[in-house]
Structure 1
Amino acid sequence: MQSIYAMRQSQSQDLDKELKFLQNSADEMRHLYLLILSLFIELHSLATHQHKVAQKKYLATTEERTVHQKFSENLLLLAIVHNTLLQEAIADARINYWEIHEEYVRTIYKNIVESEFYKKYSKQKSSFEADKSFLMTIFEEIIAPDETIYEYIEDYNLTWVDDYPIVNTYISRLFREVLPTSPDKYFVPSLYKDEEEKDFLTGLLKKVVLNDSKWENEIISRMTGWEKDRVAVIDSILLKMAVCEMLSFPSIPVKVTLNEYLELAKEYSTTKSSAFINGVMKNVHKELEEKQQIKKIGRGLL
């Protein structure tokens, strides 16, 4: 969507350039993912260091001696820290931001140990499920919403701003579904599930751009009560992408396509866009079905 929008705004016809941008965007999203996971490794390193310092403190209270231990012994956190594949991926990406900007790590860690979540967690009996629940909570309630991290990401790489919520949602799901037996590769996913997924992304961009007038004609005739010039640019792009996906990708169920673009409309367009897109897409889907123009195979029939 961002590639098509950029071409539309710049009136560019350089499809090869946008295909390269699409690949670069995927690489940058993976880099951001590794950056965020590396923060957990740095938090663990800081907690371990603080615990050792507290043990050497002559007049330390019991709380001071134990406050950092619970965090440093979190089972899911340890699984991330000792994940060899993840360490290699972070090293290959040359990620050392948190070492350079240690103040961010210290601030986040301070917010964690002073939180009510941590006080409650400190009193719980250790288990993988309890540790997983805690790590997911501090990520969703403290780390992901943190404004200083967001501002840092925005300053460092502007394209990460759109990727940030997507990556955060993905990490939350990983935490939610991880098991004690999950292999190292669980936290080092491939950019694409398979070659088919990679081909889909590049294929969708090509088909939407090269057949722009075709998709526009499919849409305009179903926009009852709307004029072409009144449709927001993002809405127009989303509708074209949805129609293209519906007609050109037989293995993708229609329901998946409809839900996907409604969610994109909620995320990127105006408040009324999802209702508008839903109405147009229902009309498009109904007429295409009646004309038997939608051909689905395999899982696309679901």
Structure 2
Amino acid sequence: MLTRRHIRVKVMQCIYALVQSKDDSLQKQEKFLRVSIENMYVLYLLILSLLAELHRLAEKHVSHASKKYVATEEDKYPNPEKFVKNRLLLQLVNNEVLKNELSNRKLDNWYMNDEYVKIIHKAVISSDIYKEYMSNGEDSYTNDRNMVIQLFKEIIAPNEKIYDYFEDDKLTWVDDFPIVNTFLVKRLKKAKPDSGDRFFLPSLLKDQEDMDFANELLTKTLLNDAKWEKEIEGKTPNWDNDRIAEIDSIVLKMAICELLNFPSIPEKVTLNEYLEIAKEYSTPKSSIFINGVLDKLAKEYKSEGRLQKIGRGLQ
């Protein structure tokens, strides 16, 4: 689920939190990093389970409507049960791995806050996407899957109430939300009728090497802070160090640390990754500033023989 860029962002957030709290405990920051990364998976589970809960609520409505003598809105559709028989949604509802993960982690958010499920359900059934799906006669897994993806992208993910709920629950989820949403959409697009339960719940990290990279980047950046500070000095003629924005300073130090301490990661990868992070988390002027500083440093390191790169790099 997480790419190396996501991991770099998580490390950046940890260092920023440390600076803001003025807590110099490396052990606490390592724990914060682990928890922050793990919480991304929790967010993924909650969003996935929201789709399952949406189905359950829809099923209740259909069951309730079938017992009424007066015609309901659903009765106008050729098959009022089409949504609750959606094959992709049923894969999520009946997913034992998802059920176990939610149970083991005691994630009963939607049971405790079912008003959010109702908000989403109301938005869904009033949408043109839902009405078109319920009205057309196509009956296939592909049609079911495409409808769920479209609903998620256009109705569920942009919903402000859901966004506010996640933001209130954990502040770090503000940055995680678009990442997790994008991953979920990609996952759903690959879903097939025979996709097993585990398919919908892949590992958060590719392997242990990713977690090792995160810890090493965090540790080496923090323990050598004064050293990286000196590396920046003299490369910012129009800026005093105390005028450099905190987030820009962190990005620069992480990039320098990676250039000098991670020989398996190509120089170009490091420069591109931190430039993209700067573009997303800092100002346009800052990204230009960071690009200029890193370019100078990279050239200096190469001329001095300090930039030692080996093998194929990983992003």
1:199 to 1:301, Cα distance in 2 relative to 1, 3 A: closer
Q: By how many angstroms is 1:240 displaced?
A: 1.0
For structure 1, which segment, 200-209 or 174-183, has the greater mean C-alpha deviation from structure 2 after superposition?
174-183
For structure 1, which segment, 70-79 or 229-238, has the greater mean C-alpha deviation from structure 2 after superposition?
70-79
Q: By how many angstroms is 1:180 displaced?
A: 3.9
Of 7, 10, 17, the match for 1:6: 17
> Aligned equivalents of 2:43 and 2:104: distance in 1?
13
Q: Aligned residues: percent identity? A: 50
Q: TM-score, normalised by structure 2?
A: 0.86
Aligned to 2:5: none
Of 72, 80, 83, the match for 2:92: 80
Aligned to 2:178: 165
Of 290, 298, 302, the match for 2:311: 298
1:158-237 matches, within 5 Å, as 158-237=171-250
The code of the aligned residue for 2:120 comes to I
Q: By how many angstroms is 1:301 displaced?
A: 8.2
1:82-121 matches, within 5 Å, as 82-121=94-133
Q: By how many angstroms is 1:8 displaced?
A: 1.9
Q: By how many angstroms is 1:166 displaced?
A: 2.5
Q: Does 1:131 align with 2:144?
A: yes
Aligned to 2:4: none
Q: By how many angstroms is 1:142 displaced?
A: 1.5
Aligned to 1:241: 254
The code of the aligned residue for 2:241 comes to K
The code of the aligned residue for 2:203 comes to S
SS at match of 1:70: coil
Report how many aligned residue pairs link the two structures. 302
Per-residue deviation, residues 244-267 of structure 1 (Å, max 9, x unmatched)? 122222333333323332332233
The code of the aligned residue for 2:236 comes to M
Q: By how many angstroms is 1:61 displaced?
A: 5.5
Per-residue deviation, residues 174-193 of structure 1 (Å, max 9, x unmatched)? 22333444432222222322
The code of the aligned residue for 1:44 comes to H
Q: Does 1:27 align with 2:38?
A: yes
Q: By how many angstroms is 1:91 displaced?
A: 1.1
- Following TM superposition, where does structure 1 have runs of at least 4 consecutive aligned residues deviating by more than 4 angstroms? 65-68
Contact 1:89 1:188 in 2 (8 A): no
> Aligned equivalents of 2:268 and 2:92: distance in 1?
36
Contact 1:235 1:269 in 2 (8 A): yes
| Structure 1: stretches of 5+ with no match in the other structure | none
Per-residue deviation, residues 48-91 of structure 1 (Å, max 9, x unmatched)? 22222222222325842647523222222222222221111111
Aligned to 1:143: 156
> Aligned equivalents of 2:188 and 2:305: distance in 1?
43
For structure 1, which segment, 233-242 or 264-273, has the greater mean C-alpha deviation from structure 2 after superposition?
264-273
Contact 1:262 1:278 in 2 (8 A): yes
> Aligned equivalents of 1:247 and 1:183: distance in 2?
43
Q: TM-score, normalised by structure 1?
A: 0.89
Per-residue deviation, residues 108-141 of structure 1 (Å, max 9, x unmatched)? 0111111112222232623333322222222122
1:62 to 1:24, Cα distance in 2 relative to 1, 3 A: closer
Per-residue deviation, residues 150-186 of structure 1 (Å, max 9, x unmatched)? 2222233333333223222222222233344443222
1:88 to 1:7, Cα distance in 2 relative to 1, 3 A: same
For structure 1, which segment, 158-167 or 226-235, has the greater mean C-alpha deviation from structure 2 after superposition?
158-167
> Aligned equivalents of 1:262 and 1:234: distance in 2?
13
Q: Does 1:274 align with 2:281?
A: no
The code of the aligned residue for 1:286 comes to K
Q: By how many angstroms is 1:107 displaced?
A: 1.4
CA RMSD of aligned residues (A): 2.4
Q: By how many angstroms is 1:206 displaced?
A: 0.3
Contact 1:50 1:68 in 2 (8 A): no
